[in-house]
Structure formats: C-alpha cells, structure tokens
Structure 1
C-alpha cells in the first residue's frame, strides 16, 4: 500500500468516525435521551436554513436582517426558540411508561427560567378529574444543572393562576405508576403511528386584549418549537407535524372563564373548536375515550413569559422582529384579512383613530380636543372608536386602515401591532406616574413613528395621586400640547 493510499484510508476512517458521532448526537438511540443537543442553526445574518426548517410563514420576515442588539435578537427572532431547544430536559427516569420533556428559556433579565413541556402517554383520570403521566421524576444531573436546567419542582408559577406550574399542580399529575382511576389501554389501539394531542389551556383572562394576545402568541411559539425540534421517539421527525398531527389535536380549556373575544384563536393549530375539561368529564363517552387512549399533552409557554412583557420599562430599538410579524400575519390570515387590506391609495385622506376609553383612564374634554384637530386638519378623517364594541376581526380591520392611532395608555393601543408595517404613527398619552415603554417599543418593532407625553392625572374625589393610581385615574392634557403631538404625527405620515 502506498503512503498516499494509506493516508487516504486514515482520512476516510476519521471522517466516518466523525460522521457517526454527529449522527449519534442528533438522533440518540435511547428513547430517553436528552434532546438538548439539537441546535436550530439560525442567526440574524445567516443564509442557511435549520435542520428542521421554520414554518414557511416566517420566510417573508427573516430577511433583510438589520443590525440590532443581542437583547432584540434573543427575544424577537428565531434565536428565542433556539434558546428553548438547546435547553431541553427529560424529567422521567428510565423505566417510566410516560415521557415528560420540558424546554426552558433564559431570556428574562432577572434570571427566571420559563418552561414549556410535552408529556407523552398521558391519560385522563376520571376520579381525579386530571390528566396523569406514569413518570418517575428525576432531577437534573450535574451537567444539566450547569447548563441552566432546573428541577421539575422549580418550574415557577405565573400570575392569574396560569402557566405550566399551575397546570401541573391542578390538571396534570406526574407520578410513578398508574393512578387509581386509570383505565388505560394500549395506545396502539388508537391510530397507529398518529398519536392524539391535547393542548392544555389555562387562560389568565378573557377580556383584556393585550393579555389574551400575549398568551395566544406564546401558544403559537410553543407549537413552532415542537414543529421544528426532532423527537427521538419519532426517528428524528418533529414532536409535532402539521401534516400528521393537526387533525388529531384538541385544545382543552381548563379554566371556567367565559369564552371572550379571542377563544377561536386557540384553534389555529387544531382546526376544531376547543372543548372544556368540565364538559369532557360530564360526557361519559368523551371521558372514556380520554381515559383509555394515551395521548400527548402540550403544556404551553405562559402568556406572562411572552418576551413583549420584558420589553416594557426600558427603551429598546428592536427593528427586526420576525416572530412578532409572523404572529400578526397568522392572526390576520386566520380571519381572512389579506396583507394588502387597509392600504391607503393615492390622495385618499389620512385616517386618525382615537381609542375611546369608557372605563378607566378617560381623556378629559376629548370631544373638544378632537374638534380642534378636525378644524385644523380638515383633510384628515377622524374617528373615535370604542374597540370593545367591535368583533376582533373588525378591530384588526380598523387598525390596518389607521394612519395615526391616538389614545391614552391602555390595552386599546395593542392595536399598534396590527397597523401596517412602516406606515403610520402612534400617539400615546401617558398618566404622569406611568413610565411604561411597551407601546413605544412595539411601534418601533413595526416601523411606526411614535409620539408621547406624560400628562396630569385626575384623581377621584377625595383621593390623591399615588404611584400606581394611573391604572384608574382619568387624565388631562392642555390643548397646545395635544395639538403639538397630533400635528407631528400627521406630518410624519403625510410624506
């Protein structure tokens, strides 16, 4: 054998060993293997696609990627999903019938860890009225702990009795061995190769549009993670497949709140109306089906974990936000609203929409203030809208047709996210003790102009202004200051 042939043989052997190592890391042979080694491979200026590609509706918003801080990239680009994907842990010890994988994010400034989970092999215990997983819990090993993975019992609670901790404590019991009320039969008696999925929904509210959208967005991010992360038990296919799993997925509402405006958005990845756990338990046939056939239960990321909640007290210029823009487009498409709807043509008038608050934080003398705008800007179409009186699709259509969105700080300014990208202005009138920057930052993410003023608070009779009284105090702004804000906004959108 020549020296060159021997060298070629050694090179081939080394390449083969390296290839086998990479494959073994990507596709572990053990079904209990940690999936934390999967890496998304996306970065703001990269041209390649990840091993499991992002859903195609992200494509229009990935490029061009602008230069911005890592703070922005880690929260509003696919790097946010990458953080969860590279911090996955299997909480069930070897020998457990079920599997519980949780993905953990570390983007919060205060160091808190956010979690979303998928439990495989769950059944409904009719006696308990809860889902159960036959899982002997294990603690993270030293390597997992060093990488920031936390024990199961440290998954934290969220506000308004929501989030994974609340679901585990009240609706999904994780224990070794079958529960007393279990009547499980083999999953193979269901649809072979096509597991049933249950999305467990514990809402934090049903009326505040900002809170509702934050948790619907985190639900979508949960599915995006599962759609792009290989599942070792599925030979490297994703944990959730649009093709194979969509028709086998049911959203199950755990709370007893009324439906509210946005209940239908929980069907965006199921294609069927949500059902309430209480109704399942009251229907013997449905209850038996959920008790007998194991299914995959999805415990979504809490609404309180939405990165927009981290973007609210300090100015951040996150101009490249593909996760936000993909979310907005999905919601619009769900309601049949085209990407072109609301475009202003030629010399058509500018539309100014005033958010008419009828509860707290009303604007004193708002009719006179708007009349002054109409007198000075006769070419501007002015409308005062109480968004709470409109269906949600109608609210979106109003926002898309708006050039200037004007209002006192509050949930009505959530509609900033549905204004046309790069084509509008937001005017936020903020109570004097309110230092919230969230709508300013949201406007920047949408490429919109933003104008604001801190104004006088009007306390209720016999009360004094306190630090947190901005939540309910009405506000007053002088005519000159008001006109200065509105004039600037109209000028900004006139070019």
Structure 2
C-alpha cells in the first residue's frame, strides 16, 4: 500500500511543477496585458477613412493619452557630457523655464523698513554680450509689486499713485523703455514715492490687486503683442516665484482672477485690446475709472514689451547652437488660440498635396516690386494650390491668425507681419524676404520647427542693372544705405530667385508627406 501511495505521489509531483510553472508564466502576462491596455493602442486601433479622402491622409484614431507620472532626473549624476552646453544653457534661460528660475533668484526689496509702503522688484534675464551688441544689461529687466498704494486721480499726467518708499542705498534707477513703458516710465510719469498718506500703508489697505500697465505708444502689431506677452509672463512668474517672507508664490490663482487690469496711458482703442482678456478673462479699464481715494493692497507693474526675450532673438549678433526650447512660445500660442476659439491643425495631420500658400503683401514701405506678376507666376506653377495674397492691415486680427494657422508656406518681408510666424503650423515653411543686414527671425523659426528660407532682396540700382541692363550709378555700392532699409519703398527680387525660394519651400512641405506604406513579404 505504501508503494501504491508513493506511486501516486510521484505522479502528482510533476503535475504540481507544471501548474506552478504555468502560473509563473501566465500571471505576469495577464498583469502586463491588463496594466498596459490603455498604453497599447495598436491592439485595437482602427483606421478611419472618411469618404472621399485619399489614402495619404489616413489618420489613426488613438485613445486618449494616459496621465503619466512626471519623471524627475535632476538628482541623477550623469557623465558631464550630458550637461547642457553653454549655448543651450543660455537658450533655456532666455526661452525656457529657466526664464522664471532666473527671476526667482533675482528679487529684492527696494524700500527701507522705515517706509510705510512696500516695494519688491524682480529682474528678468537679458541676453549678454557677445550674443547681443545692443540692449545688453547686467541688471536685466525689472518688474515690481508695490503694497499700500494710494490712488488720487487728479487728471492729466500728474502723479496719481502714491507709495512711501525710502529707497535702499544699493538700489539702481529704473530705466525707461520704448514709448515711456516699463517700471521706470510708469514711476516717472505717474508715481510719487516720497509722500506718506495717513491711513494707507502696507498693513492698512483694501487688499485688492491691480495690474497697472503703461503700454508702449505704437501701432506696430509686433510691438504691441510683445507688450501683452511680457505682461503674461509677469503674471505667470508671480504665480510660481516664491515670496522669501512666506515661502509661497507671490500670487495665487484667486489673486489673478480677482485682479483688475488697468491701462495707465492715453492710447486709443486697438484691435489687440480684446486679447488682454487672456490674462484673467477681464477687459482692461482705464486708470480714470479707478476709485478716487482708494488704498490698494497690491499694485503690480509688468515687464515692458521691449524687454521680451523674443525681441532679443531678433537682434542676436553671433551664431550659436539652435535654441530648441519653445515652451514660452507654445504656451502663448495655446492661449491665443483658446481665446480666439481657433483649433490649430493637429500635429498628426500632414499638409495636403495641394498646399496653402500665403503671401503677405506690404502696401507702404518695403513693398515687393512687381508683386502681382510674381504671385501670378506662383499660381501658374501650382494651379491646384490655394494661393492667398493679402494685406494684413485690411483683415481683422482674428482672421489674420486663422490665415496663418492654415498656411503651409508663408511668404513676407521682414517686419511686423511676420509676427504670425508664431501661429503657423509646426513644420510649416516660410520665405523671409530680407533687406541687407536687417534683423531676422532665424532663432524664432528654429524654436518653432519652421523650415525657413532667407531670400535677400536687391536694391533698385542693382536690380535694374541685372534685369534692364541699366548702368550702376558712379560711387554707388550695395549696402551703403542700409541704415535706412526700413524706409525703402520697394524690395526687389529677380523672378527666378523669387520663384526658386517659393519652390524650395513648397518642396520642403511635400517632402514631409509619407508615401504609401510598403508591403512586406
């Protein structure tokens, strides 16, 4: 009987081993299948082809991307070769999250403790030499917050804000920026920082937030967008930068939501005024609309538009590694599109075979000579493409953004109209017509992933010499009048050169399209 029992036991042992082995193999597989079900769209993705759509436009319908835990690698000790190069460190400081990190490390109080008001100022980074030959500043660009500010609107340009501040001995005088903008311009025009106001101080006030903005006096859309953008970065920074006294950010989301945006200038209404609602959903008010005699708890003065890192990007004077960080641009674009109710082209949709080509036609200065005939040649060369020739000054601002967001190839002379490079689809192409030695959009297009072709135009004497055989005037040479390039009436391009640049841009877009998926045997 013992032998019989031993035999059964011997037969059961291999069976147990088999069951254990099967469990070891199966359980991890089942767990993997369950845990990755949301991460393996290939297992259940269906290709949806709408009626009348060519196979080259097929788009896979993917499930919503899962929420992933952020990966922090700052504590990893990698070989030194993985560190950012000096160029990329500068790019991150100017155009990435490092912009805010720099500001947090460069903040300081401006008033002695004996002051009844409080003034804290911050410094945003500025491109140093040799990256720039102008606008370089060791101290950077300031913005400030004042607490305990009395308002007494007496009309005109008199000093209607009062904040008592005995300045510290180590402070520097604030610079005034273009059009009287910036902290320096605002303080100089409208603030009294010496007089005490009984019952109004940093501890006794209404607790309200004001965002007081003295805009640059300009009708140039690039200048005005830079002003809005810098105000936006000021607010974003205040919600992230910690107050050394409390260890918390200077502003909360609730503070931003309750804040009033105040224009402290006499600039007439502009198309861009509506965009200021991007900041907190509220329309700006004029300073005259504030309550006379109010004592405000917090008055924020923003970075001026001409301090924008993207202004700096236009005046760089050295070649360097292309800047890859585009986070500041990406956030701005998303907010503009959301405010205007525009849905940008999804990243997984490639240009159509017949492209959308847009030419921005200037009508005052730097007009492209013979533009109508040149663009008719473009239409003839690409008969199935939608070719738009437009003067942006005649279009509402929203329509301008929509047109740019739908363009595959964008052509224009260097100037304010090229601000719309910010709104082109990623990977689009631009032909930037430039006057000799003028500043260019190279850095911005690199950050945006836009294929850029720089088309140098000719001056009138050399154009007529090449095309008509007219002799060059005695003593004349190219570039001798470059200081006045902005005032030139026309920009000249030889037909073959112009069409060649446009063709290169078109080819760059067609090359982005995938061919049919090959069959494998």
Q: TM-score range by the shorter chain?
A: 0.7 to 0.9
Is 1:492 aligned with 2:508? yes
Determine the structure 2 residue equivalent to 1:482.
498
TM-aligned CA distance change 1:98 to 1:48, over 3 Å: farther
Q: CA shift at 1:236, angstroms?
A: 3.0
CA contact (8 A) 2:148 2:201 kept: no
Query: After alignment, is 97-106 or 360-369 more displaced?
Result: 97-106
1:63-462 aligned at under 5 Å gives the runs 69-109=88-128, 110-112=136-138, 113-127=140-154, 128-140=158-170, 151-153=171-173, 155-175=174-194, 177-178=196-197, 184=200, 190=206, 195-232=207-244, 235-242=246-253, 244-277=254-287, 279-280=288-289, 286-288=290-292, 291-313=293-315, 314=317, 315-316=319-320, 317-340=322-345, 347=352, 349-421=354-426, 423-432=427-436, 434-437=437-440, 439-458=441-460
TM-aligned CA distance change 1:469 to 1:238, over 3 Å: same
Measured in 2, the distance between the counterparts of 1:130 and 1:171 equals 6
Measured in 1, the distance between the counterparts of 2:205 and 2:125 equals 40
SS in 1 for 2:196: coil
Query: After alignment, is 255-264 or 340-349 more displaced?
Result: 340-349
Give CA deviations for 1:14-54 in whole Å, capped at 9, x if unaligned.
Answer: xxxxxxxxxxxxxxxxxxxxxxxxxxxxxxx95479xxxxx
Query: After alignment, is 259-268 or 335-344 more displaced?
Result: 335-344
CA contact (8 A) 1:93 1:135 kept: yes
TM-aligned CA distance change 1:189 to 1:428, over 3 Å: closer
Q: Normalized against structure 1, the TM-score is what?
A: 0.75
1:18-97 aligned at under 5 Å gives the runs 47=73, 69-97=88-116
Give CA deviations for 1:401-448 in whole Å, capped at 9, x if unaligned.
Answer: 000000111111111010112x2101011123x3312x1221111101
TM-aligned CA distance change 1:187 to 1:77, over 3 Å: same
TM-aligned CA distance change 1:189 to 1:322, over 3 Å: closer
Give CA deviations for 1:336-383 in whole Å, capped at 9, x if unaligned.
Answer: 223447986674520010001111110011111111111122232110
Q: How many residues align?
A: 402
Give CA deviations for 1:148-192 in whole Å, capped at 9, x if unaligned.
Answer: xxx242x212122111100111122222522xxx774997674xx
SS in 2 for 1:236: coil
SS in 2 for 1:468: helix
Q: Normalized against structure 2, the TM-score is what?
A: 0.72
SS in 1 for 2:103: helix
Which ranges of structure 2 fall in alignment gaps of 5 or more residues? 1-70, 76-82, 129-135, 462-472, 512-521
Query: After alignment, is 337-346 or 196-205 more displaced?
Result: 337-346
Measured in 1, the distance between the counterparts of 2:406 and 2:344 equals 12
Q: 1:469 aligns with which of 471, 484, 488?
A: 484
Q: CA shift at 1:254, angstroms?
A: 1.4
Measured in 1, the distance between the counterparts of 2:187 and 2:205 equals 27
Which ranges of structure 1 fall in alignment gaps of 5 or more residues? 1-44, 50-64, 141-150, 281-285
SS in 2 for 1:199: strand
TM-aligned CA distance change 1:175 to 1:71, over 3 Å: same
Q: CA shift at 1:206, angstroms?
A: 4.5
Measured in 2, the distance between the counterparts of 1:342 and 1:259 equals 36
Measured in 1, the distance between the counterparts of 2:248 and 2:72 equals 24
Give the structure with higher Rg (CA).
2
Measured in 2, the distance between the counterparts of 1:360 and 1:310 equals 24
Measured in 2, the distance between the counterparts of 1:253 and 1:454 equals 40
CA contact (8 A) 2:147 2:201 kept: no
Measured in 1, the distance between the counterparts of 2:278 and 2:351 equals 35
